[in-house]
Structure formats: structure tokens, C-alpha cells
Structure 1
Amino acid sequence: NRGGLNEVIHLAARHLVSGCNLVRAGKWRGGADENWEVYCEYPQTDN
């Protein structure tokens, strides 16, 4: 579903400023290149 990719990037943009990086899921779990996920180097807190 490439149509939803823009939404993923939009949501991930807010995580980037919180120390997270948008990476290809394939690099971490051998998934397809079109599968993206947000990888955080440290746990996020709600407060």
C-alpha cells in the first residue's frame, strides 16, 4: 500500500525530533523495502 507511505512519513517526522529514525524495516527484520518503521535509539516517555 504505497498510498499510505506518505502518512507514515508524516507521522514519523514527529518522531525524528524525539531521537527516532525512519528506517527500512527490511534492514532490521528482512522485510520488504516498502515496509517502513520508526526505530528509536532510546525508550520514549509520555511525559
Structure 2
Amino acid sequence: MVQDKNTKQWTLIGIVSWGIKCGEPGIPGIYTRVTEYLDFIYEHAVSN
């Protein structure tokens, strides 16, 4: 998530796709860009 410094609005950019020991220093996490899946998210979030 990132926050716009002017509006203070938060925006979700990516979610954890997978990782080992999430948040451990020196161990990378794999993230998915949310904008690539907005149609899917809206379709399923609205219908449920």
C-alpha cells in the first residue's frame, strides 16, 4: 500500500502472491500487481 502525501488516501498496489517466512530480512517476497486483476476482483467482489 502507498499513501498519497497530499490527499492522505491509501492505494493498494500489490498483494503477496507467495513467500517464505513473510517479512524476514533477506528473504524476498513475490507480489502481484492488483491493477492486472481489477476486472476479476470487481466481478467477484460485487457478486458476493
TM-score normalized by the length of structure 2: 0.20
> Quick one: higher RCO (CA 8 Å, sep 6+), 1 or 2?
1
Greater fraction of residues in helix: 1
